[in-house]
Chain A
Amino acid sequence: MSDYKLNPHYASEDVKKEPIRTGFGRGLKIAGKDDENIVALCADLTESTQMHMFRDEFPERFVEVGVAEQNLVTVASGMARAGKIPFTSSYAAFSPGRNWEQIRTTICLNDMPVKIVGSHAGVSVGPDGATHQMLEDLALMRVLPNMVVVVPGDSIEAEKATIAIAENGKPSYIRLAREKTPIFSTEGSPFEIGKAYVLRTGSDITLAGTGLMTHQLLLLARMLEDSGVNAEVLHVPTIKPLDEEAILESVKKTGRVVTAEEAQIAGGFGGAVAELLSEKCPAPLHRIGMKDRFGESGDPQELLEHFGLTAETMLPHVQQFIDKVPQYKPGY
Chain B
Amino acid sequence: MSGQLTITQLQQKANDIRKDIINSLEAAGSGHSAGPLGMADLLTTLYLDIMNIRPHQPNWSERDYFFLSNGHCAPVQYAAMAEAGYFDKSELKTLRKFGSRLQGHPERTALPGLENTSGPLGSGLSQAAGVAYTLQYLDKQLHRFVYAATGDGELNEGNIWEAAMFAGKYKLSQLVVFIDRNNIQIDGSTEDVMPLEDLRGKWESFGWHVQEIDGHNVESIQDAASMARAITNKPSVVITHTIPGKGVDFMEYDYKWHGTPPNREQAKAALRKLRTLNGKIVGGNE
Q: Check A105–B126 contact: CB distance below 8 A.
A: no
Having A68-B166, A70-B158, one finds 16 other A-B pairs with CB under 8 Å, namely A61-B138, A70-B126, A74-B163, A75-B163, A76-B130, A78-B128, A79-B130, A79-B134, A81-B115, A81-B131, A102-B159, A105-B118, A106-B116, A106-B117, A106-B118, A109-B107
Q: Check A110–B162 contact: CB distance below 8 A.
A: no
Question: Is B133's beta carbon under 8 Å from chain A?
Answer: yes
Give every chain A residue within 8 A of B134 (Cβ-Cβ). Answer: 78-79, 82-84
Q: Tell me, in angstroms, the Cα distance from A105 to B169 when the chains sit together.
A: 26
Give every chain A residue within 8 A of B115 (Cβ-Cβ). Answer: 81
From B116, B162, B165, contact of A81 by CB (8 A) = B116
Closest CB pairs A-B (n = 6): A78-B130, A74-B126, A71-B162, A78-B127, A68-B162, A82-B134
Minimum CB–CB distance for A282 against chain B, Å: 36
**Which of chain B's residues 72-129 have a Cβ closer than 8 Å to chain A?**
107-109, 115-120, 122-123, 126-129
Q: Tell me, in angstroms, the Cα distance from A71 to B128 when the chains sit together.
A: 11
Question: Is B137's beta carbon under 8 Å from chain A?
Answer: yes
Question: Is A66's beta carbon under 8 Å from chain B?
Answer: yes
Question: Is A63's beta carbon under 8 Å from chain B?
Answer: yes
**Which of chain B's residues 3-51 have a Cβ closer than 8 Å to chain A?**
none
Q: Tell me, in angstroms, the Cα distance from A84 to B65 when the chains sit together.
A: 15
Q: Check A78–B131 contact: CB distance below 8 A.
A: yes
Q: Tell me, in angstroms, the Cα distance from A203 to B119 when the chains sit together.
A: 52
Minimum CB–CB distance for B134 against chain A, Å: 4
Question: Is B184's beta carbon under 8 Å from chain A?
Answer: no
Q: Tell me, in angstroms, the Cα distance from A76 to B131 when the chains sit together.
A: 9
From B117, B122, B165, B166, contact of A109 by CB (8 A) = B117
Minimum CB–CB distance for B146 against chain A, Å: 8
Can you name the residue of chain B whose Cβ is closest to the Cβ of A110?
Answer: B117
**Which of chain A's residues 35-83 have a Cβ closer than 8 Å to chain B?**
39, 60-61, 63, 65-66, 68, 70-71, 74-83
Q: Check B166–A106 contact: CB distance below 8 A.
A: no
Q: Tell me, in angstroms, the Cα distance from A62 to B67 when the chains sit together.
A: 24
Give every chain A residue within 8 A of B67 (Cβ-Cβ). Answer: 78
Question: Is A204's beta carbon under 8 Å from chain B?
Answer: no
Q: Tell me, in angstroms, the Cα distance from A76 to B122 when the chains sit together.
A: 15
Interface size class of B (residues with CB under 8 A): 20 to 34
Q: Tell me, in angstroms, the Cα distance from A79 to B128 when the chains sit together.
A: 9
Can you name the residue of chain A whose Cβ is closest to the Cβ of B159?
Answer: A70
Q: Check A82–B130 contact: CB distance below 8 A.
A: yes
Q: Mark B161-177, 1 if CB is under 8 A from A, else 0.
A: 01101100100000000
Give every chain B residue within 8 A of A82 (Cβ-Cβ). Answer: 65, 130-131, 134-135, 138-139
Give every chain A residue within 8 A of B137 (Cβ-Cβ). Answer: 60
Can you name the residue of chain A whose Cβ is closest to the Cβ of B141?
Answer: A82
In the complex with contacts A105-B120, A111-B109, A75-B159 CB distance below 8 A: no
Give every chain A residue within 8 A of B107 (Cβ-Cβ). Answer: 109-110
Question: Is A305's beta carbon under 8 Å from chain B?
Answer: no
**Which of chain A's residues 121-179 have a Cβ closer than 8 Å to chain B?**
none
In the complex with contacts A66-B166, A79-B133, A74-B158 CB distance below 8 A: no
In the complex with contacts A110-B116, A110-B117, A71-B133 CB distance below 8 A: no
From B65, B116, B123, B131, contact of A70 by CB (8 A) = B123
Minimum CB–CB distance for B109 against chain A, Å: 5
Among A63, A80, A81, A84, chain B packs the most CB atoms within 10 A around the CB of A81
Give every chain B residue within 8 A of A71 (Cβ-Cβ). Answer: 126, 159, 162-163, 165-166
Minimum CB–CB distance for A253 against chain B, Å: 41
Minimum CB–CB distance for B60 against chain A, Å: 13
Question: Is A34's beta carbon under 8 Å from chain B?
Answer: no
Among A68, A70, A82, A106, chain B packs the most CB atoms within 10 A around the CB of A82
30 A–B contacts from the bound complex (CB under 8 Å): A61-B138, A63-B133, A65-B162, A68-B162, A68-B166, A70-B126, A70-B162, A71-B162, A71-B166, A74-B127, A74-B130, A75-B127, A75-B130, A75-B163, A75-B166, A76-B130, A77-B126, A78-B67, A78-B116, A78-B126, A78-B130, A78-B131, A78-B134, A79-B138, A81-B130, A82-B135, A102-B120, A105-B117, A106-B126, A109-B109
Give every chain A residue within 8 A of B118 (Cβ-Cβ). Answer: 105-106
Question: Is A101's beta carbon under 8 Å from chain B?
Answer: yes
Q: Tell me, in angstroms, the Cα distance from A88 to B221 when the chains sit together.
A: 36
Give every chain B residue within 8 A of A75 (Cβ-Cβ). Answer: 126-127, 129-130, 133, 163, 166
Q: Tell me, in angstroms, the Cα distance from A60 to B137 when the chains sit together.
A: 8
Can you name the residue of chain A whose Cβ is closest to the Cβ of B107?
Answer: A109
Q: Check A68–B165 contact: CB distance below 8 A.
A: yes
